[in-house]
């Protein structure tokens, strides 16, 4: 290896050139929080002249901040839990700690629930990150799951896991230390202004978890079954909306991600193309839209007909992913069989 | 040859900037809505935030 190449590699901070987008997303998110705080504290600049306009500002900012926090933790930091974006351990740890704090999560806790609990036991009885199942095997409703999971169920499960040392010895001590660091960072907005912290820190965290991450997690595995020889790719759904994957770090390629979590997020579309024939042959559930539309399809409907239509739309396979020898309606039927777990 | 290289370089730069803007699409829109409050006030920001939540569903369904 040439001396110049070696020196350049040694000086590189990022593990992968595309990870610059992860850093930019996170820093812009922090800038958005800082801007909202600054305007809240200088109401005259933002045209806030009373309780009504202050409420309007807080509502608009909380909706948007919560949205980006949901993506920043549930997608962006998520990629970092599988493949660290920096080449230095201390930078990975501390960047990670600032990464999840706006989403109301200690980074270690999110890593634990995702990697130790979810990935290692996908759709199994000990994967408590997913929706609970009803007696008939179907997922509980998307609203119930999203409202109850964060922070209530997460806290109860993690308490049990950390005190029981799930994941190895020393997990409980590490969790306690990370909680202290998280609380120190998370409390900063409260020291500045407690009301601002409630509106522009706690409320966006709720939006991030309940309205963004919860439905996203639900949509990733709705109607899925544990991996088996006969159903190797039915453990997750694949979402192919170009806009969705471009703005969401390719999280839609979820079968590929679960089967090979070490594949870099920017390589997932190419990896997907390599797997395409096998996905079609195994009747993977591939759809042409993204999580937002899927969440709407999976939400309760006013009438039984509307619910059936939404269910059929969700179960329908992307036209390019139907086995060629099979008519479209048969392909949809085959997927519907695996969609028994749909609400 | 030189002209082609310059054009190619600009095109490559534009592609990179476009990609960066799309990857950070959500925080950029958030910054515009939050900071735009200075220009158009909090009520318009609230309307924009709600419209954006509705629009995204359509965008990902179409593209």
Interface pTM (ipTM) of the complex? 0.87
* Helix B2-23 vs helix B25-62: crossing angle, to nearest 10: 90
Q: Work out the average pLDDT over A124-143.
A: 92
Asked if A258 contacts A119 with a C-beta cutoff of 8 angstroms, the reply is yes
Contacts of A35 in chain B (CB under 8 A): 31, 34-35
Nearest to A211 by CA among A63, A3, A322: A63
d(CA A314, CA A302): 17
* Residue of chain B whose alpha carbon sits nearest to that of A200: B34
3-class DSSP string for chain A: CCHHHHHHHHHCCECCHHHHHHHHHHHHHHHHHHHHHHHHHCCCCCCCCCHHHHHHHHHHHHHHHHHHHHHHHHHHHHHHHHCCCECCHHHHHHHHHHHHHCCCCCHHHHHHHHHHHHHHHCCCCCCCCCCCECCCCCECCHHHHHHHHHHHHHHHHHHHHHHCCCCCCCHHHHHHHHHHHHHHHHCHHHHHCHHHHHHHHHHHHHHHHHHHHHHHHHHHHCCCCCCCCCCCCCCCEEECCHHHHHHCCCCCEHHHHHHCCCCCHHHHHHHHHHHHHHHHHCCCEEECCCHHHHHHHHCCCCCHHHHHHHHHHHHCCCHHHCCCCCCHHHHHHHHHHHHHHCC
What does the mean pLDDT of chain B come to? 88
Q: How much is the pLDDT for A10? A: 56
| pLDDT per position as a tens digit, B16-46 | 899 999 999 999 999 999 999 999 999 999 9
* B14/chain A closest Cα distance in angstroms: 16
B11 pLDDT tier (thresholds 50, 70, 90): confident
| pLDDT per position as a tens digit, A5-31 | 555 555 589 999 999 999 999 999 999
* A59/chain B closest Cα distance in angstroms: 7
Q: How much is the pLDDT for A330? A: 47
What does the mean pLDDT of chain A come to? 91
Interface A-B, measured as beta-carbon pairs within 8 A, has a size of: 116
| pLDDT per position as a tens digit, A312-337 | 999 999 999 988 765 555 455 445 44
B10 pLDDT tier (thresholds 50, 70, 90): confident
| pLDDT per position as a tens digit, A83-114 | 999 999 999 999 999 999 999 999 999 999 99
pLDDT score of A202 more than 90: yes
Does the distance separating the beta carbons of B56 and A289 come in below 8 Å? no
Contacts of A71 in chain B (CB under 8 A): 26
* Cβ within 8 Å of residue A21, ≥6 positions away: A249, B19, B20, B23, B24
Does the distance separating the beta carbons of A46 and B42 come in below 8 Å? yes
Contacts of A65 in chain B (CB under 8 A): 30, 34
Q: How many domains does chain B have?
A: 1
A140 pLDDT tier (thresholds 50, 70, 90): very high
Interface of B with A (CB under 8 A): 19-20, 22-31, 33-35, 37-38, 41-43, 45-46, 48-50, 52-53, 56-57, 59-63
Cα distances from A160 to residues A125, A153, A257, in angstroms, run 15, 11, 28
A338 pLDDT tier (thresholds 50, 70, 90): very low
Contacts of A292 in chain B (CB under 8 A): 56-57, 60
Pick A274 or A12 by higher pLDDT: A274
d(CA A119, CA A162): 17
Full residue range of the structural domain in which residue B9 is found: 2-62
pLDDT score of A80 more than 70: yes
Q: How much is the pLDDT for A172? A: 93
* B51/chain A closest Cα distance in angstroms: 11
Question: Any idea where the domains of chain A sit in the sequence?
Answer: 14-220, 223-343
pTM here? Answer: 0.89
* Cβ within 8 Å of residue A328, ≥6 positions away: A317, A319, A322
């Amino acid at each position: 290896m040439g001396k110049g190449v070696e020196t350049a590699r040694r000086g590189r901070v990022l593990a992968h050139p595309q990870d610059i987008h992860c850093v930019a997303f996170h820093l812009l998110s922090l800038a958005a929080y800082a801007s909202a705080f600054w305007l809240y504290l200088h109401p005259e600049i933002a045209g806030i002249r009373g309780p009504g306009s202050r409420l309007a500002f807080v509502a608009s900012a909380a909706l948007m901040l919560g949205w980006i926090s949901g993506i920043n933790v549930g997608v962006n930091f998520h990629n970092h839990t599988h493949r660290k974006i920096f080449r230095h351990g201390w930078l990975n740890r501390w960047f990670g700690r600032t990464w999840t704090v706006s989403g109301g999560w200690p980074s270690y806790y999110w890593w634990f629930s995702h990697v130790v609990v979810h990935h290692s036991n996908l759709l199994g009885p000990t994967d408590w990150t997913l929706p609970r199942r009803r007696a008939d095997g179907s997922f509980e409703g998307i609203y119930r799951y999203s409202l109850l999971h964060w922070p209530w169920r997460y806290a109860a499960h993690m308490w049990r896991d950390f005190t029981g040392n799930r994941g190895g010895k020393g997990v409980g001590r590490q969790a306690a230390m990370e909680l202290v660091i998280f609380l120190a960072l998370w409390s900063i907005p409260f020291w500045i202004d407690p009301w601002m912290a409630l509106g522009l820190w706690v409320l966006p965290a709720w939006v991030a978890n309940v309205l963004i991450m919860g439905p996203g997690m639900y949509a990733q595995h709705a109607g899925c079954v544990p991996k088996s020889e006969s159903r190797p790719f039915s453990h997750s759904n694949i979402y192919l909306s170009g806009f969705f994957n471009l703005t969401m770090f390719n999280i839609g390629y979820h079968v590929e991600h679960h089967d090979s979590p070490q594949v870099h997020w920017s390589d997932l579309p190419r990896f997907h193309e390599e797997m395409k024939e096998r996905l079609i042959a195994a009747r993977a559930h591939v759809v042409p839209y993204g999580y937002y539309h899927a969440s709407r399809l999976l939400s309760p409907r006013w009438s039984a007909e509307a619910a059936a239509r939404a269910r059929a739309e969700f179960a329908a396979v992307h036209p390019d992913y139907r086995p060629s020898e099979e008519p479209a309606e048969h392909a949809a039927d085959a997927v519907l069989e695996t969609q028994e777990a749909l609400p | 040859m030189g002209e082609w290289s310059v054009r190619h370089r600009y095109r490559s730069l534009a592609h990179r900037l476009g990609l960066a803007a799309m990857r950070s699409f959500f925080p950029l829109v958030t910054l515009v809505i939050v900071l735009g409050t200075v220009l158009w006030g909090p009520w318009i920001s609230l309307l924009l935030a709600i419209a954006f939540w509705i629009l995204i569903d359509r965008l990902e369904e179409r593209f």
